[in-house]
Amino acid sequence: MAGLLALAACGVGGGGGTASATGQTDRAQGRAAEANPDLDTGTSLGDRAAPEIRLANQFGQPMSLSQFRGKVVVLAFVDSECTTVCPLTTVSMTAARDLLGAAGDQVQLLGVDANPAATSVRDVMAYSQAHAMVNQWDFLTGSPAQLRAVWRAYHIYVQIQAGQIDHTPALYVIDQRGREREIYLTTMAYASVGQEGQVLAQEVASLLPGHPKLARQSSLAYINGMSPASRATLSAVPSGSVTLAPGQPRLVMFFATWLSETSDLLAELTALNAYPAAARHAGLPPLVAVDEAVSEPSPGAARAYLQQLGQPLSYPVALDTTGRLADGYGVQDQPWFVLTSASGKIVWSHDGWLPVAALEAAARRS
């Protein structure tokens, strides 16, 4: 892992920008990307042969890396039960292919399971379903021994620590000849997901015939997060808006609908209905839920999910469509609770679900 991280830190890759008809713009984009701490612009792997992979996909079908010769392969190592960085990797992969338009048909998205405790076909299918990836990619798994062999071949560090999966968040670009071209490491930054997809798409386009232009391009400069000290107005579900600003303390809960894969999301959300009444009675900060829309499989995922809850929520739900709020509030996982002071400072945060009584106790202590 140390070797991979050192390699990635070199930051020499396709995202840096090259001379073209719009060379000056490309160079400016390259400089902005290199200066962006939340963006990995890729590291060249020197055109070496990618190790063969023989595993089964989410349908239980045997697959091999070599069967995709003739296509550019985007290969990511993904924890099948991940609630942190892996969903961001998944979004960047699909965003990259979408930016390629019709040329995206010449690209194969592959995932390899990086969770030694959840290696069944059922596990990789569950992740694929939660993230609407069932027919978007092949998510490969196998026996623990088979997976360990692939991890070693690609220098992927995987370990379980205190019940949590720790693995290298690596994504490889492999060309049509089966040669490794670039490696990227996904960062835990929500606002840069679209930028990472653009950098990835640029690299893939450079390998495709005719070097197709991307459907759209955005700035690759660093995107500031929106901290509790700033004013943020977000769209609410099902309608209206929610404003977060200094002036009063708040309890903010970040979540995403794909958490239904790893927890009883419906029960957790409805259980929080008890908090607003208790907070009013005890003079505690009000609760606001924020759906991390930038990591959702579709723009309407939160609205569709909340419509089928069967009962209304007694607290507002807002949409963080850019990821700037999550970054500004220091979100590192889903769900993530943040308690802010009236002056706009984070005074407490918690990773994972908590019962209402525990939330009340934390609010009182803080």
Contact yes or no for 42/48 (Cβ under 8 A) = no
> Which value, to the nearest 10 degrees, does the dihedral of the CA atoms of residues 186, 187, 192, 198 take?
-20
Question: pTM higher than 0.75, yes or no?
Answer: yes
pLDDT of residue 276: 97
Using left for φ > 0, alpha for ψ between -120 and 50, and beta otherwise, residue 42 falls in left
Omega before residue 238 within 30° of 0, cis: yes
Question: Between vectors from CA 355 to CA 354 and to CA 359, what angle results, nearest 5°?
Answer: 75
CA distance 53 to 160: 23
User: Domains of the chain (ranges plus CATH)?
Assistant: 2-207 (3.40.30.10), 232-365 (3.40.30.10)
pLDDT value at position 6? 33
| pLDDT tens, residue order, the chain (366 aa) | 334 433 322 222 333 334 445 577 788 888 999 999 999 999 999 999 999 999 999 999 999 999 999 999 999 999 999 999 999 999 999 999 999 999 999 999 999 999 999 999 999 999 999 999 999 999 999 999 999 999 999 999 999 888 888 999 999 999 999 999 999 999 999 999 999 999 999 999 999 999 999 999 999 999 999 999 999 999 999 999 999 999 999 999 999 999 999 999 999 999 999 999 999 999 999 999 999 999 999 999 999 999 988 889 999 999 999 999 999 999 999 999 999 999 999 999 999 999 999 999 999 987
Listing from the earlier edge strand, what are the strands of the sheet with 170-174? 43-49, 179-185, 170-174, 72-78, 107-113, 138-140
**How far is the C-alpha of 15 from the C-alpha of 33, rounded, in Å?**
7
Distance from C-alpha of 263 to C-alpha of 351, rounded to nearest angstrom: 14
